[in-house]
Amino acid sequence: MSEKTYKTMLNWVDQNITNPPTLLEMSRYVGYSPYYCSTKFREYCGMSFKRYLGKRKLMMAAKELTHTKETILTIAVRYGFSSHEAFTRAFCREYGRPPSQFRRESTATLANQDSDRR
């Protein structure tokens, strides 16, 4: 599998992150079997497709928490979490604090950076 195919897989995940994407759909898109894609994905990324997908969803949700005023529940549902609580548990495991605290701290950091530029 070429480097271009790996990048195609990662780009496909990003483009379909809110659908939610599956290994089977991705493997069809790149033209390899799910088993082969799973094996090569783990080799390339150092983690399973499922783990990568979960981390990527949380990373994109964190970006939205920082840069939008969408409610936490709206963001959670967009990225496939069944509830605010499920999202908060996963977010805390990944970032060590709840999404509301992350948003407050990120917003304050961005505000400080803006004032420093002036």
Average pLDDT over residues 78-88: 95
Average pLDDT over residues 69-79: 96
Average pLDDT, the chain: 91
Write down the pTM of the prediction.
0.85
Identify which of 45, 62, 50 has the alpha carbon closest to the alpha carbon of residue 21: 50
pLDDT for 26 beyond 70: yes
Query: Which band of pLDDT confidence, cut at 50, 70 and 90, is reported for residue 28?
Result: very high
Q: What angle do CA 111, 87, 77 make, to 5 degrees?
A: 90
Exposed/middle/buried for residue 78 (C-beta within 10 Å: 0-12, 13-18, 19+): middle
pLDDT for 52 beyond 70: yes
CA distances from 42 to 5, 14, 17, 27, 39 (A): 14, 17, 18, 14, 5
Average pLDDT over residues 49-73: 95
DSSP classification of residue 18: T
Query: Which band of pLDDT confidence, cut at 50, 70 and 90, is reported for residue 3?
Result: confident
